[in-house]
Structure 1
């Protein structure tokens, strides 16, 4: 339990020190899409539902991660369809809206890092210009609008959005097809805009306010609980390993040597993968008992290519254990006279000695000698007699 609380305390401290307190507050929103209208069309005038097109652009500033303001400009092109009497109008508008980051209040941070939701509402001023059936002076009006904007973060600077907004126009003097309505002083109309667009974050910080999430107590509690569970599982595994007697086979030995020594320059040891004192004694015994030897061709002192790995075994072992020393003993087969075989065996040991020194092993840690003839093998196995073996001290 002490370890759990120590790790938990460290994480809380590091999180509070490294927590990002600043975010980008400005953004540019650009969108376009379709629209529909309700009311404000005379009999005989109809439009496609939905109709193309409408576009909008806005500059938004978030005062904090929850609330902000947006200044927007938009344009709708409204025209009759194939069954309608001809008309064409352009509705342009300016609006000022308050923006609420609903994703923060709905705790989106508990389940996503890329999705968010904004709500917006405000008022604006608009103008309707008719080109068909005839040009007329602009019909100005005021409007109230509201909407919601789901977002998807592509990067720290760029996000996609879908927006659905409703505009309620007031004090409109004519219909969209440019006709006055008798008996009414003003015409009220409703426009439904559906847009797809992109938001560009502006500022020097990494993250925009839309996706900046402050850690809450529930976040920290969840992280601590996860850490506690992982520590408990690790302690269970350690207990099992401590109570398990290792089973070692020759196949396992060879694979372990290949991993630690032959391919050590090619691989990075995983964290926690260390050579313990018991492993050192075990590998020392393997080398001393002749599991790993360097072999030569008949009457040659050049190491066979296939035996370079054996030299690398010893090199890595000596590098990992700087207090150890080694004796290199060379051998020859039974062919040839005794004096020549003694000289050949010593030259073979000297060859391995030179390679190890060139590889970075101090000459003071190595000695070599000739063992003469290895008579332990028969004529059919003389290849195994032409060797250098290792003795680790």
Structure 2
């Protein structure tokens, strides 16, 4: 009953933790690239080609892993191209507030990728354009309102940095002066055409997004289903460890995790550490002495089992492994005991060497998984060295993808994300 209550408490705690989103919400965005002004222009002034430079800087806040808002400021350099007989230059500035939708989360991109998503964004703002040379009676600064709509493909480089590209279309309301600064919009397009969205800009950009916050991931890359499954995997492992710890192999009433001698004979009285009571310190449990012949005690030999041999056998047969979370080189907390087994063995057997073999599951690029498997093995190597094991006694090897299980099973894949040990 106690075990059932404990398991229920762990599951309830895991569910509550999973429901409380643990991800960063703020990011800083920096972008730059080319732009194309489509209209309006005075006849003879041509800008059919995209021109450099345009750039923007902004701050984005995600309310959750699907929707957010951002404030950004941009600059465009609009000038003639080589086909224009007349030269001009216009400096354009804008400030925009926009809503953001993470299309990757909404459309469940996580079913096939964990490094790519697309943000959709749109909003409105205020703009100002100033041509270098205005030759008619107009204000130097042409103020207008604008609406902006765009898409931003994102490529995850790390938990902190994302590479971004962007395509945005900006439509303006109330522009009075052509981009070249030589005419009024009404004189070129007429009064009716000058109303509504009477000018357009198209921006193509590339840049980076820097994620801010103390959590391990950002809202852009957070998926509730994956987070819940990861938490449940962790709980299953913890429950399995509890069940394993409670096993009492020698049936002496002391569970294995407390038992300092897990090979005591059945029926022999033991202390709280699972050690047979031997008050006269002769190596024979007191309860067995009366049943042994005195001649045997004098001439017989005591057979013992070497504990290090047992540990070595468990290690070599793959029972001692370090497991990892998805796409991570940090070992799971519940796996640290496996590292401790190897540290103790290596310290007790100073002539022993070990090969650390890392593995990854089949999800993702094969070359990337090969590198990840090597990084996992190297991480365990670093922990062992920090624990006092000489680096010269350790060999690091990346085993790449372990395809021995059905990759559609998330539970089976968890067992493949590991580092195993070979003694030599």
Structure 2 SS opposite 1:271: coil
Report the CA distance between 1:200 and its aligned residue: 0.5
Q: TM-score, normalization: structure 1?
A: 0.52
Asked if 1:166 corresponds to 2:169, the answer is yes
Structure 1 SS opposite 2:132: strand
| Equivalent residue, structure 2, for 1:35 | 35
| Equivalent residue, structure 2, for 1:195 | 205
| Equivalent residue, structure 2, for 1:116 | 117
| Equivalent residue, structure 1, for 2:292 | none
Report the CA distance between 1:211 and its aligned residue: 0.7
**1:103-133 deviation digits (Å, cap 9, x = unpaired):** 1111011111111111001001000011136
| Equivalent residue, structure 2, for 1:150 | 153
Q: Is the 8 A contact 1:90 1:129 kept in 2?
A: yes
**1:292-324 deviation digits (Å, cap 9, x = unpaired):** xxxxxxxxxxxxxxxxxxxxxxxx9xxxxxxxx
Report the CA distance between 1:29 and its aligned residue: 0.4
In structure 1, C-alpha distance between the alignment counterparts of 2:69 and 2:214, rounded to whole Å:
20
Asked if 1:54 corresponds to 2:101, the answer is no
Report the CA distance between 1:14 and its aligned residue: 8.9
**1:74-94 deviation digits (Å, cap 9, x = unpaired):** 010001112311110011000
In structure 1, C-alpha distance between the alignment counterparts of 2:143 and 2:48, rounded to whole Å:
24
Alpha carbons of structure 1 residues 68 and 193: separation in structure 2 relative to 1, 3 Å: same
Report the structure number with the largest CA radius of gyration.
1
In structure 1, C-alpha distance between the alignment counterparts of 2:225 and 2:10, rounded to whole Å:
13
Report the CA distance between 1:272 and its aligned residue: 3.8
Out of 301, 316, 327, the position equivalent to 1:269 is 316
In structure 1, C-alpha distance between the alignment counterparts of 2:317 and 2:12, rounded to whole Å:
27
Report the CA distance between 1:136 and its aligned residue: 5.3
Out of 209, 215, 228, the position equivalent to 2:219 is 209
The CA RMSD measured in Å over matched residues stands at 3.5
Report the CA distance between 1:48 and its aligned residue: 4.8
Report the CA distance between 1:17 and its aligned residue: 6.8
Q: Which runs of 5+ in 1 are unaligned?
A: 1-8, 228-259, 274-315, 317-393
**1:159-189 deviation digits (Å, cap 9, x = unpaired):** 0111100000110001001121424384611
| Equivalent residue, structure 1, for 2:294 | none
Report the CA distance between 1:13 and its aligned residue: 7.4
| Equivalent residue, structure 2, for 1:100 | 101
Report the CA distance between 1:270 and its aligned residue: 3.4
Report the CA distance between 1:99 and its aligned residue: 0.5
In structure 1, C-alpha distance between the alignment counterparts of 2:74 and 2:45, rounded to whole Å:
24
Q: Is the 8 A contact 2:32 2:53 kept in 1?
A: yes
Report the CA distance between 1:52 and its aligned residue: 1.1
Q: TM-score, normalization: structure 2?
A: 0.49
| Equivalent residue, structure 1, for 2:419 | none
Q: Which runs of 5+ in 2 are unaligned?
A: 1-7, 237-307, 321-348, 350-424
Q: Is the 8 A contact 1:36 1:49 kept in 2?
A: yes
Structure 2 SS opposite 1:184: helix
Structure 1 SS opposite 2:316: coil
Report the CA distance between 1:15 and its aligned residue: 6.2
Which has the higher mean CA deviation after the structures are superposed, 18-27 or 92-101? 18-27
How many residues are matched? 230
In structure 2, C-alpha distance between the alignment counterparts of 1:12 and 1:115, rounded to whole Å:
32
Alpha carbons of structure 1 residues 122 and 174: separation in structure 2 relative to 1, 3 Å: same
Q: Is the 8 A contact 1:166 1:192 kept in 2?
A: yes
Report the CA distance between 1:216 and its aligned residue: 6.9
